[in-house]
Amino acid sequence: MTNREAGPSRQPPAPELVDAGFAFEVAEAPLLHRPLGLADLAHVLALREAGIVPADPARRLLGVLLDAYEQPAEEFPYDPQVGEIYNCREQHFVERLGDDAGWLHAGRPRREAVRVALRLLLRRQVAELLADVAAFVHAVSDQATRHAETLLPDQTYLQHAQPSTFGHYILHFAYPALRSGERLAGLLGWINESPGGAGCVHGSRLDISRERLAEMLGFDGVIAHTRDAMWQTDGFVDLVSTATTLVENLSRLAEDLEIWDSQEFDFVALAGPYTRASVLMPQKRNPYSLGVVRGSAGLLIGRLTGLLAVGKTPSARSDALIFLYGETPRALDVATRATRLMRGVIATLGVNTERMAAALLDGFSQATDLAEYVMQECRIDYRTAYHVVGDTVRRASRDGLRGVDITAGMLDDAAKERLGHGLGLSDDGLAEVLDPEAIVRSRTVDGGAAPETVRGMADRCARAADRIAEEARQAAGSYNRAENALVDAAERVSRG
Protein backbone atom coordinates (compact mmCIF):
# COMPACT_ATOMS: atom_id res chain seq x y z
CA MET A 1 0.00 0.00 0.00
CA THR A 2 1.34 3.36 -0.96
CA ASN A 3 0.49 6.84 0.08
CA ARG A 4 1.49 8.44 -3.20
CA GLU A 5 -0.93 11.15 -4.10
CA ALA A 6 -3.28 9.93 -6.81
CA GLY A 7 -5.37 12.06 -9.14
CA PRO A 8 -4.58 15.02 -11.36
CA SER A 9 -2.15 17.61 -10.15
CA ARG A 10 -3.76 20.91 -9.21
CA GLN A 11 -0.79 22.92 -10.38
CA PRO A 12 -0.49 24.33 -13.88
CA PRO A 13 1.98 22.70 -16.21
CA ALA A 14 5.58 23.85 -16.12
CA PRO A 15 6.52 26.24 -18.94
CA GLU A 16 9.20 23.79 -20.11
CA LEU A 17 6.53 21.14 -20.45
CA VAL A 18 4.32 23.50 -22.41
CA ASP A 19 7.22 24.16 -24.80
CA ALA A 20 8.50 20.63 -25.19
CA GLY A 21 5.24 18.73 -24.96
CA PHE A 22 2.02 20.64 -25.54
CA ALA A 23 3.45 22.95 -28.20
CA PHE A 24 4.85 19.92 -29.98
CA GLU A 25 1.48 18.23 -30.03
CA VAL A 26 -0.49 21.36 -30.86
CA ALA A 27 1.60 21.75 -34.01
CA GLU A 28 -0.42 18.85 -35.45
CA ALA A 29 -3.74 20.64 -34.93
CA PRO A 30 -4.06 21.74 -38.58
CA LEU A 31 -3.76 18.11 -39.61
CA LEU A 32 -6.07 16.61 -37.03
CA HIS A 33 -8.71 19.29 -36.55
CA ARG A 34 -11.30 18.02 -38.98
CA PRO A 35 -10.81 14.31 -38.39
CA LEU A 36 -11.06 14.93 -34.65
CA GLY A 37 -14.29 16.75 -35.30
CA LEU A 38 -15.65 13.67 -37.04
CA ALA A 39 -14.45 11.39 -34.27
CA ASP A 40 -16.20 13.55 -31.68
CA LEU A 41 -19.44 13.66 -33.64
CA ALA A 42 -19.56 9.91 -34.01
CA HIS A 43 -18.75 9.33 -30.37
CA VAL A 44 -21.53 11.60 -29.17
CA LEU A 45 -24.01 10.08 -31.60
CA ALA A 46 -23.08 6.63 -30.36
CA LEU A 47 -23.44 7.74 -26.75
CA ARG A 48 -26.81 9.18 -27.62
CA GLU A 49 -27.97 6.04 -29.41
CA ALA A 50 -26.93 3.96 -26.42
CA GLY A 51 -28.90 6.25 -24.14
CA ILE A 52 -25.78 7.21 -22.19
CA VAL A 53 -26.07 10.93 -22.83
CA PRO A 54 -29.48 12.45 -22.29
CA ALA A 55 -31.17 13.97 -25.31
CA ASP A 56 -30.83 17.66 -24.47
CA PRO A 57 -27.16 17.87 -23.65
CA ALA A 58 -26.46 15.60 -26.64
CA ARG A 59 -28.27 18.04 -28.90
CA ARG A 60 -26.41 21.03 -27.54
CA LEU A 61 -23.08 19.27 -27.56
CA LEU A 62 -23.48 18.21 -31.18
CA GLY A 63 -24.27 21.79 -32.10
CA VAL A 64 -21.04 23.02 -30.62
CA LEU A 65 -19.09 20.18 -32.19
CA LEU A 66 -20.55 20.96 -35.60
CA ASP A 67 -19.55 24.59 -35.25
CA ALA A 68 -16.02 23.53 -34.41
CA TYR A 69 -15.96 21.12 -37.33
CA GLU A 70 -16.86 23.88 -39.75
CA GLN A 71 -14.33 26.26 -38.25
CA PRO A 72 -10.91 26.31 -39.96
CA ALA A 73 -8.20 24.89 -37.73
CA GLU A 74 -6.31 28.17 -37.84
CA GLU A 75 -9.22 29.96 -36.21
CA PHE A 76 -9.89 27.43 -33.51
CA PRO A 77 -8.29 28.38 -30.18
CA TYR A 78 -5.53 25.78 -30.10
CA ASP A 79 -3.07 27.04 -27.52
CA PRO A 80 -0.28 25.04 -25.86
CA GLN A 81 -0.78 26.93 -22.62
CA VAL A 82 -4.07 25.07 -22.31
CA GLY A 83 -2.63 21.67 -23.13
CA GLU A 84 -2.44 19.49 -26.17
CA ILE A 85 -5.04 19.42 -28.93
CA TYR A 86 -7.68 17.51 -27.05
CA ASN A 87 -7.39 19.69 -23.95
CA CYS A 88 -7.80 22.78 -26.10
CA ARG A 89 -10.96 21.41 -27.61
CA GLU A 90 -12.29 20.37 -24.22
CA GLN A 91 -11.72 23.81 -22.74
CA HIS A 92 -13.31 25.52 -25.71
CA PHE A 93 -16.39 23.34 -25.51
CA VAL A 94 -16.72 23.96 -21.77
CA GLU A 95 -16.43 27.67 -22.36
CA ARG A 96 -19.20 27.56 -24.90
CA LEU A 97 -21.46 25.06 -23.19
CA GLY A 98 -20.61 24.61 -19.52
CA ASP A 99 -21.07 21.22 -17.91
CA ASP A 100 -22.91 19.76 -20.89
CA ALA A 101 -19.55 19.62 -22.64
CA GLY A 102 -18.49 17.09 -20.02
CA TRP A 103 -20.55 14.33 -21.65
CA LEU A 104 -18.06 14.21 -24.51
CA HIS A 105 -15.56 12.29 -22.43
CA ALA A 106 -17.85 9.47 -21.36
CA GLY A 107 -16.19 6.14 -22.01
CA ARG A 108 -13.41 7.46 -24.18
CA PRO A 109 -9.84 8.43 -23.42
CA ARG A 110 -8.15 11.23 -25.35
CA ARG A 111 -5.99 8.72 -27.12
CA GLU A 112 -8.97 6.94 -28.68
CA ALA A 113 -10.19 10.17 -30.22
CA VAL A 114 -6.81 10.88 -31.76
CA ARG A 115 -6.24 7.30 -32.92
CA VAL A 116 -9.55 7.45 -34.76
CA ALA A 117 -8.79 10.87 -36.22
CA LEU A 118 -5.35 9.81 -37.39
CA ARG A 119 -6.82 6.98 -39.42
CA LEU A 120 -9.44 9.24 -40.95
CA LEU A 121 -6.62 11.53 -42.02
CA LEU A 122 -4.35 8.82 -43.30
CA ARG A 123 -6.93 7.04 -45.41
CA ARG A 124 -7.49 10.23 -47.38
CA GLN A 125 -3.81 10.85 -47.75
CA VAL A 126 -3.20 7.35 -49.01
CA ALA A 127 -6.07 7.56 -51.49
CA GLU A 128 -4.59 10.80 -52.78
CA LEU A 129 -1.09 9.38 -52.97
CA LEU A 130 -2.40 6.39 -54.92
CA ALA A 131 -3.82 8.70 -57.55
CA ASP A 132 -0.43 10.36 -57.87
CA VAL A 133 1.35 7.04 -58.13
CA ALA A 134 -1.00 6.05 -60.94
CA ALA A 135 -0.36 9.33 -62.71
CA PHE A 136 3.39 8.84 -62.43
CA VAL A 137 3.12 5.36 -63.91
CA HIS A 138 1.08 6.77 -66.77
CA ALA A 139 3.71 9.39 -67.51
CA VAL A 140 6.40 6.72 -67.51
CA SER A 141 4.38 4.38 -69.64
CA ASP A 142 3.66 7.13 -72.18
CA GLN A 143 7.35 7.93 -72.50
CA ALA A 144 8.16 4.25 -72.82
CA THR A 145 5.73 3.86 -75.68
CA ARG A 146 6.97 7.01 -77.35
CA HIS A 147 10.60 5.92 -77.06
CA ALA A 148 10.28 2.20 -77.62
CA GLU A 149 12.70 2.54 -80.53
CA THR A 150 14.93 5.31 -79.19
CA LEU A 151 18.38 3.74 -78.96
CA LEU A 152 20.22 4.09 -75.66
CA PRO A 153 23.51 2.64 -74.47
CA ASP A 154 22.18 0.98 -71.32
CA GLN A 155 24.66 1.25 -68.50
CA THR A 156 25.77 -0.52 -65.40
CA TYR A 157 28.25 1.24 -63.14
CA LEU A 158 27.52 4.09 -65.60
CA GLN A 159 29.59 2.20 -68.18
CA HIS A 160 28.10 1.25 -71.51
CA ALA A 161 26.66 -2.22 -71.16
CA GLN A 162 24.48 -3.19 -74.13
CA PRO A 163 22.43 -1.44 -76.79
CA SER A 164 18.94 -0.87 -75.48
CA THR A 165 16.20 1.76 -75.75
CA PHE A 166 15.15 4.70 -73.67
CA GLY A 167 11.67 3.19 -73.64
CA HIS A 168 12.84 -0.03 -72.02
CA TYR A 169 14.94 1.94 -69.58
CA ILE A 170 12.31 4.40 -68.44
CA LEU A 171 9.61 1.76 -68.16
CA HIS A 172 11.46 -0.16 -65.50
CA PHE A 173 10.67 2.62 -63.02
CA ALA A 174 6.98 1.87 -63.40
CA TYR A 175 7.27 -1.50 -61.71
CA PRO A 176 8.55 -0.49 -58.27
CA ALA A 177 6.02 2.35 -58.34
CA LEU A 178 3.23 -0.12 -59.08
CA ARG A 179 4.41 -2.41 -56.31
CA SER A 180 4.49 0.49 -53.88
CA GLY A 181 1.04 1.46 -55.08
CA GLU A 182 -0.28 -2.04 -54.53
CA ARG A 183 1.19 -2.16 -51.04
CA LEU A 184 -0.32 1.20 -50.21
CA ALA A 185 -3.66 0.06 -51.56
CA GLY A 186 -3.35 -3.04 -49.39
CA LEU A 187 -2.63 -0.85 -46.39
CA LEU A 188 -5.89 1.01 -46.91
CA GLY A 189 -7.54 -2.11 -45.53
CA TRP A 190 -5.38 -1.92 -42.45
CA ILE A 191 -5.90 1.82 -41.96
CA ASN A 192 -9.60 1.70 -42.41
CA GLU A 193 -10.37 -0.36 -39.34
CA SER A 194 -11.82 1.30 -36.33
CA PRO A 195 -9.98 1.63 -33.02
CA GLY A 196 -13.14 3.24 -31.63
CA GLY A 197 -14.98 2.03 -28.58
CA ALA A 198 -11.93 0.54 -26.93
CA GLY A 199 -12.53 2.17 -23.56
CA CYS A 200 -9.25 2.75 -21.82
CA VAL A 201 -7.55 -0.22 -23.45
CA HIS A 202 -9.75 -3.16 -22.70
CA GLY A 203 -13.33 -2.08 -23.15
CA SER A 204 -15.72 -0.05 -21.06
CA ARG A 205 -18.60 -0.74 -18.68
CA LEU A 206 -20.66 1.56 -20.90
CA ASP A 207 -22.55 -0.08 -23.66
CA ILE A 208 -21.06 1.68 -26.69
CA SER A 209 -21.27 -0.33 -29.89
CA ARG A 210 -17.90 -0.58 -31.59
CA GLU A 211 -19.57 -1.74 -34.79
CA ARG A 212 -21.92 1.20 -34.86
CA LEU A 213 -19.07 3.65 -34.30
CA ALA A 214 -17.10 2.04 -37.11
CA GLU A 215 -20.04 2.20 -39.44
CA MET A 216 -20.73 5.88 -38.77
CA LEU A 217 -17.09 6.74 -39.49
CA GLY A 218 -16.97 4.76 -42.71
CA PHE A 219 -14.53 2.18 -41.38
CA ASP A 220 -14.60 -1.25 -42.94
CA GLY A 221 -14.62 -2.97 -39.57
CA VAL A 222 -13.36 -3.02 -36.03
CA ILE A 223 -9.84 -3.76 -34.80
CA ALA A 224 -10.24 -7.08 -33.04
CA HIS A 225 -8.40 -6.52 -29.75
CA THR A 226 -8.89 -3.31 -27.81
CA ARG A 227 -5.39 -3.00 -26.40
CA ASP A 228 -3.97 -3.65 -29.85
CA ALA A 229 -6.40 -1.05 -31.20
CA MET A 230 -4.91 1.54 -28.91
CA TRP A 231 -1.20 0.76 -29.04
CA GLN A 232 -0.25 -0.86 -32.32
CA THR A 233 2.33 0.97 -34.41
CA ASP A 234 3.36 -1.59 -37.01
CA GLY A 235 0.98 -0.42 -39.72
CA PHE A 236 2.19 3.15 -39.45
CA VAL A 237 5.73 1.96 -39.93
CA ASP A 238 4.62 -0.07 -42.96
CA LEU A 239 3.00 2.99 -44.41
CA VAL A 240 6.06 5.17 -44.04
CA SER A 241 8.34 2.36 -45.14
CA THR A 242 6.33 1.93 -48.32
CA ALA A 243 6.29 5.68 -48.93
CA THR A 244 10.06 5.67 -48.48
CA THR A 245 10.71 2.90 -50.98
CA LEU A 246 8.33 4.64 -53.37
CA VAL A 247 10.37 7.84 -53.21
CA GLU A 248 13.70 6.03 -53.20
CA ASN A 249 12.71 4.63 -56.59
CA LEU A 250 11.93 8.16 -57.79
CA SER A 251 15.21 9.34 -56.36
CA ARG A 252 17.10 6.80 -58.44
CA LEU A 253 15.39 8.04 -61.55
CA ALA A 254 16.12 11.63 -60.50
CA GLU A 255 19.78 10.89 -60.03
CA ASP A 256 19.99 9.19 -63.44
CA LEU A 257 18.32 12.16 -65.08
CA GLU A 258 20.56 14.63 -63.30
CA ILE A 259 23.56 12.85 -64.77
CA TRP A 260 21.98 12.63 -68.20
CA ASP A 261 21.01 16.28 -68.09
CA SER A 262 24.68 17.29 -67.84
CA GLN A 263 26.32 19.03 -70.79
CA GLU A 264 28.60 16.01 -71.18
CA PHE A 265 25.84 13.42 -71.44
CA ASP A 266 23.17 15.65 -72.88
CA PHE A 267 20.77 12.70 -73.15
CA VAL A 268 17.80 14.55 -71.66
CA ALA A 269 16.76 18.09 -70.77
CA LEU A 270 14.29 19.01 -68.09
CA ALA A 271 11.48 21.28 -69.20
CA GLY A 272 11.99 24.87 -68.10
CA PRO A 273 9.30 24.88 -65.39
CA TYR A 274 11.14 22.13 -63.57
CA THR A 275 14.44 24.01 -63.46
CA ARG A 276 15.68 26.92 -61.41
CA ALA A 277 17.91 29.79 -62.34
CA SER A 278 21.06 30.68 -60.48
CA VAL A 279 21.13 34.10 -58.87
CA LEU A 280 24.80 34.48 -59.70
CA MET A 281 25.48 32.48 -62.86
CA PRO A 282 23.59 33.71 -65.93
CA GLN A 283 24.12 30.56 -67.97
CA LYS A 284 22.64 28.18 -65.41
CA ARG A 285 19.41 26.21 -65.71
CA ASN A 286 19.58 23.93 -62.73
CA PRO A 287 17.58 20.71 -62.51
CA TYR A 288 16.36 21.75 -59.07
CA SER A 289 13.37 19.38 -59.20
CA LEU A 290 15.68 16.40 -59.21
CA GLY A 291 17.50 17.56 -56.10
CA VAL A 292 14.19 18.04 -54.35
CA VAL A 293 13.14 14.47 -55.14
CA ARG A 294 16.48 13.02 -54.09
CA GLY A 295 16.52 15.01 -50.87
CA SER A 296 12.97 13.88 -50.16
CA ALA A 297 14.12 10.27 -50.29
CA GLY A 298 16.84 10.97 -47.74
CA LEU A 299 14.44 12.85 -45.54
CA LEU A 300 12.01 9.94 -45.58
CA ILE A 301 14.71 7.43 -44.66
CA GLY A 302 15.23 9.52 -41.54
CA ARG A 303 11.54 9.83 -40.83
CA LEU A 304 11.09 6.07 -41.03
CA THR A 305 14.06 5.50 -38.75
CA GLY A 306 12.71 8.05 -36.30
CA LEU A 307 9.35 6.32 -36.20
CA LEU A 308 10.99 3.01 -35.41
CA ALA A 309 13.32 4.52 -32.83
CA VAL A 310 10.46 6.33 -31.13
CA GLY A 311 8.54 3.07 -31.15
CA LYS A 312 11.25 1.21 -29.28
CA THR A 313 9.61 1.56 -25.88
CA PRO A 314 7.68 -0.64 -23.53
CA SER A 315 4.06 -1.20 -24.48
CA ALA A 316 1.34 1.32 -23.71
CA ARG A 317 3.62 4.32 -23.55
CA SER A 318 2.12 7.35 -25.17
CA ASP A 319 5.32 8.71 -26.66
CA ALA A 320 5.37 6.15 -29.45
CA LEU A 321 2.01 7.36 -30.68
CA ILE A 322 2.26 11.06 -29.84
CA PHE A 323 5.33 11.35 -31.97
CA LEU A 324 3.82 9.51 -34.89
CA TYR A 325 0.68 11.64 -35.04
CA GLY A 326 2.59 14.26 -36.96
CA GLU A 327 5.44 12.29 -38.42
CA THR A 328 3.29 9.80 -40.31
CA PRO A 329 1.03 12.24 -42.19
CA ARG A 330 3.93 14.55 -42.89
CA ALA A 331 5.96 11.71 -44.32
CA LEU A 332 3.07 10.82 -46.61
CA ASP A 333 2.84 14.44 -47.62
CA VAL A 334 6.51 14.52 -48.60
CA ALA A 335 5.97 11.36 -50.65
CA THR A 336 2.95 12.82 -52.38
CA ARG A 337 4.73 16.00 -53.35
CA ALA A 338 7.75 14.13 -54.64
CA THR A 339 5.62 11.75 -56.69
CA ARG A 340 3.63 14.56 -58.19
CA LEU A 341 6.78 16.47 -59.04
CA MET A 342 8.39 13.49 -60.69
CA ARG A 343 5.31 12.85 -62.76
CA GLY A 344 5.60 16.36 -64.13
CA VAL A 345 9.31 15.99 -64.78
CA ILE A 346 8.78 12.80 -66.78
CA ALA A 347 5.72 13.97 -68.67
CA THR A 348 7.58 17.03 -69.97
CA LEU A 349 11.07 15.59 -70.29
CA GLY A 350 13.05 16.41 -73.41
CA VAL A 351 14.81 13.33 -74.82
CA ASN A 352 17.82 13.85 -77.06
CA THR A 353 17.51 10.82 -79.30
CA GLU A 354 20.38 11.78 -81.63
CA ARG A 355 22.80 12.18 -78.80
CA MET A 356 21.86 8.85 -77.22
CA ALA A 357 22.28 7.04 -80.51
CA ALA A 358 25.58 8.76 -81.17
CA ALA A 359 26.92 7.88 -77.74
CA LEU A 360 25.93 4.28 -78.32
CA LEU A 361 27.75 4.17 -81.63
CA ASP A 362 30.87 5.63 -80.04
CA GLY A 363 31.22 2.66 -77.69
CA PHE A 364 31.55 -1.07 -77.60
CA SER A 365 28.26 -2.14 -76.13
CA GLN A 366 27.76 -4.72 -78.88
CA ALA A 367 30.59 -6.78 -77.46
CA THR A 368 28.41 -9.28 -75.66
CA ASP A 369 26.37 -9.99 -78.75
CA LEU A 370 29.58 -10.38 -80.63
CA ALA A 371 30.95 -12.88 -78.14
CA GLU A 372 27.71 -14.82 -78.18
CA TYR A 373 27.83 -14.85 -81.97
CA VAL A 374 31.39 -16.14 -81.88
CA MET A 375 30.36 -18.81 -79.39
CA GLN A 376 27.52 -19.99 -81.52
CA GLU A 377 29.11 -19.69 -84.93
CA CYS A 378 32.45 -21.17 -83.93
CA ARG A 379 31.15 -23.63 -81.31
CA ILE A 380 33.59 -22.44 -78.71
CA ASP A 381 32.76 -21.91 -75.08
CA TYR A 382 31.62 -18.49 -73.95
CA ARG A 383 34.58 -17.74 -71.75
CA THR A 384 36.96 -18.23 -74.66
CA ALA A 385 34.79 -16.20 -76.99
CA TYR A 386 34.63 -13.48 -74.33
CA HIS A 387 38.42 -13.31 -74.14
CA VAL A 388 38.84 -13.12 -77.89
CA VAL A 389 36.31 -10.31 -78.09
CA GLY A 390 37.80 -8.62 -75.04
CA ASP A 391 41.23 -8.55 -76.63
CA THR A 392 39.76 -7.23 -79.84
CA VAL A 393 37.91 -4.48 -78.08
CA ARG A 394 40.88 -3.45 -76.00
CA ARG A 395 43.01 -3.14 -79.07
CA ALA A 396 40.31 -1.31 -81.05
CA SER A 397 39.81 1.19 -78.26
CA ARG A 398 43.50 1.91 -78.14
CA ASP A 399 43.41 2.55 -81.87
CA GLY A 400 40.50 4.95 -81.53
CA LEU A 401 38.07 2.62 -83.24
CA ARG A 402 34.51 1.90 -82.21
CA GLY A 403 32.42 -1.24 -81.81
CA VAL A 404 30.88 -0.89 -85.26
CA ASP A 405 34.37 -0.72 -86.74
CA ILE A 406 35.31 -4.22 -85.65
CA THR A 407 36.15 -6.54 -88.52
CA ALA A 408 36.49 -10.26 -88.95
CA GLY A 409 40.17 -9.69 -89.42
CA MET A 410 40.57 -8.04 -86.07
CA LEU A 411 38.83 -10.96 -84.43
CA ASP A 412 41.07 -13.38 -86.24
CA ASP A 413 44.16 -11.57 -84.98
CA ALA A 414 42.96 -11.85 -81.42
CA ALA A 415 41.87 -15.46 -81.86
CA LYS A 416 45.22 -16.46 -83.23
CA GLU A 417 46.92 -15.25 -80.11
CA ARG A 418 44.46 -16.93 -77.79
CA LEU A 419 43.63 -20.07 -79.73
CA GLY A 420 46.37 -20.44 -82.27
CA HIS A 421 43.95 -20.06 -85.17
CA GLY A 422 41.52 -17.56 -86.65
CA LEU A 423 37.71 -17.71 -86.47
CA GLY A 424 36.86 -17.54 -90.14
CA LEU A 425 33.92 -15.18 -89.72
CA SER A 426 32.81 -12.74 -92.43
CA ASP A 427 32.41 -8.98 -92.17
CA ASP A 428 28.90 -9.33 -93.56
CA GLY A 429 27.85 -11.58 -90.75
CA LEU A 430 29.40 -9.17 -88.22
CA ALA A 431 27.49 -6.20 -89.58
CA GLU A 432 24.19 -7.55 -88.31
CA VAL A 433 25.66 -8.55 -84.96
CA LEU A 434 27.16 -5.11 -84.45
CA ASP A 435 24.06 -3.21 -85.49
CA PRO A 436 22.40 -1.76 -82.37
CA GLU A 437 18.96 -1.76 -83.88
CA ALA A 438 19.20 -5.40 -84.80
CA ILE A 439 20.43 -6.19 -81.33
CA VAL A 440 17.49 -4.43 -79.74
CA ARG A 441 15.06 -6.23 -82.05
CA SER A 442 16.51 -9.54 -80.88
CA ARG A 443 15.45 -8.88 -77.25
CA THR A 444 12.06 -10.47 -77.60
CA VAL A 445 12.30 -12.46 -74.41
CA ASP A 446 9.64 -11.69 -71.79
CA GLY A 447 10.46 -8.30 -70.35
CA GLY A 448 13.12 -7.58 -72.96
CA ALA A 449 13.89 -4.45 -74.95
CA ALA A 450 12.37 -5.32 -78.32
CA PRO A 451 10.05 -2.44 -79.24
CA GLU A 452 6.87 -4.53 -79.39
CA THR A 453 7.71 -6.13 -76.07
CA VAL A 454 8.19 -2.74 -74.47
CA ARG A 455 4.96 -1.38 -75.92
CA GLY A 456 3.08 -4.37 -74.58
CA MET A 457 4.52 -3.93 -71.12
CA ALA A 458 3.85 -0.19 -71.16
CA ASP A 459 0.27 -0.90 -71.96
CA ARG A 460 -0.07 -3.38 -69.12
CA CYS A 461 1.53 -0.91 -66.72
CA ALA A 462 -0.93 1.77 -67.75
CA ARG A 463 -3.80 -0.57 -67.12
CA ALA A 464 -2.42 -1.55 -63.73
CA ALA A 465 -2.16 2.15 -62.91
CA ASP A 466 -5.77 2.59 -63.94
CA ARG A 467 -6.82 -0.09 -61.52
CA ILE A 468 -4.93 1.60 -58.70
CA ALA A 469 -6.44 4.97 -59.58
CA GLU A 470 -9.90 3.46 -59.69
CA GLU A 471 -9.40 1.83 -56.31
CA ALA A 472 -8.28 5.16 -54.90
CA ARG A 473 -11.26 6.93 -56.40
CA GLN A 474 -13.70 4.42 -54.97
CA ALA A 475 -12.09 4.54 -51.56
CA ALA A 476 -12.15 8.33 -51.47
CA GLY A 477 -15.76 8.31 -52.61
CA SER A 478 -16.82 5.98 -49.85
CA TYR A 479 -14.99 8.07 -47.24
CA ASN A 480 -16.74 11.16 -48.50
CA ARG A 481 -20.14 9.53 -48.39
CA ALA A 482 -19.63 8.20 -44.87
CA GLU A 483 -18.32 11.48 -43.53
CA ASN A 484 -21.06 13.49 -45.14
CA ALA A 485 -23.67 11.11 -43.77
CA LEU A 486 -22.14 11.43 -40.31
CA VAL A 487 -22.27 15.21 -40.41
CA ASP A 488 -25.83 15.07 -41.71
CA ALA A 489 -26.87 12.73 -38.91
CA ALA A 490 -25.24 15.00 -36.35
CA GLU A 491 -27.02 17.98 -37.81
CA ARG A 492 -30.36 16.21 -37.67
CA VAL A 493 -29.90 15.27 -34.02
CA SER A 494 -28.53 18.69 -33.12
CA ARG A 495 -31.54 20.37 -34.67
CA GLY A 496 -33.63 18.07 -32.49
**Contacting a copy of itself within 371-400 (CB under 8 A):** 371-373, 375-376, 379-387, 389-391, 393-394, 396-400
| Cβ pair 31, 329 in contact under 8 A | yes
Neighbouring residues of 293: CB distance < 8 A, sequence distance ≥ 6:
247, 250, 251, 253, 254, 338, 341, 342, 345
CA distance 126 to 155: 35
**Residue 491 Cβ vs a copy of itself, minimum distance, rounded to whole Å:** 22
Sign of dihedral through CA atoms 226, 229, 234, 235? positive
3-state secondary structure 393-439: HHHHHHCCCCHHHCCHHHHHHHHHHHHCCCCCCCHHHHHHHHCHHHH
Cβ closer to a copy of itself: 68 or 198?
Answer: 198
Instruction: Report d(CA 408, CA 426) in Å as an integer.
Output: 6
Question: Applying CB under 8 A, which of residues 36, 82, 341, 349 lies at the interface with a copy of itself?
Answer: 341
What single-letter amino acid sits at 228? D
With DSSP H G I counted as helix, E B as strand and the rest as coil, what are the percentages for the chain, rounded to 5? 70, 5, 25
User: What residues numbered 245-264 form the site for a copy of itself, per CB under 8 A?
Assistant: 245, 248-249, 251-253, 255-256, 258-259, 261-264
Interface with a copy of itself: number of residues (CB under 8 A): 219
Shortest spacing between CB 431 and a copy of itself, in angstroms = 15
Q: To the nearest whole angstrom, how small is the minimum distance from the Cβ of residue 16 to a copy of itself?
A: 4
* Segment interacting with a copy of itself (CB under 8 A) among 31-39, 120-128, 296-304, 484-492: 296-304
Cβ distance to a copy of itself smaller for residue 239 or 486: 239
Which positions from 195 through 224 interact with a copy of itself, judged by CB under 8 A?
Answer: 197-206, 208, 210-211, 222-224
Of the candidates 307, 192, 291, which has an alpha carbon nearest to the alpha carbon of residue 251? 291
The CB-side HSE value for 118 (13 A sphere, CA atoms) comes to: 31
Closer by beta carbon to a copy of itself, 201 or else 487? 201
Q: Rounded to whole angstroms, how far apart are CA atoms 285 and 195? A: 50
Q: Quote the least distance from Cβ 306 to a copy of itself, whole Å.
A: 2
Q: CB-wise, 447 or 477, nearer to a copy of itself? A: 447
Instruction: Give how far the C-alpha of residue 446 lies from the chain's centroid of Cα atoms, to the nearest Å.
Output: 28
Smallest gap, in angstroms, from Cβ of residue 107 to a copy of itself? 7
Q: Which of 76, 78, 103, 219 is the binder for a copy of itself (CB under 8 A)?
A: 103
Q: Where in 416-445 is the site for a copy of itself (CB under 8 A)?
A: 439, 442-445
**Which uninterrupted H or E stretch holds 162?**
strand 159-165
| Integer Cα distance of 325 and 114 in angstroms | 8
CB of 488 to a copy of itself, least distance (A): 26
Contact string 160-189 vs a copy of itself (x = CB under 8 A): xxx-x---xx-xxxxxx--xx--x--x---
Separation between Cα atoms, residue 446 and residue 453, nearest integer Å: 7
Closer by beta carbon to a copy of itself, 70 or else 354 = 354
Nearer to a copy of itself, 192 or 242 (CB): 242
Q: Is residue 65 a contact residue for a copy of itself (CB under 8 A)?
A: no
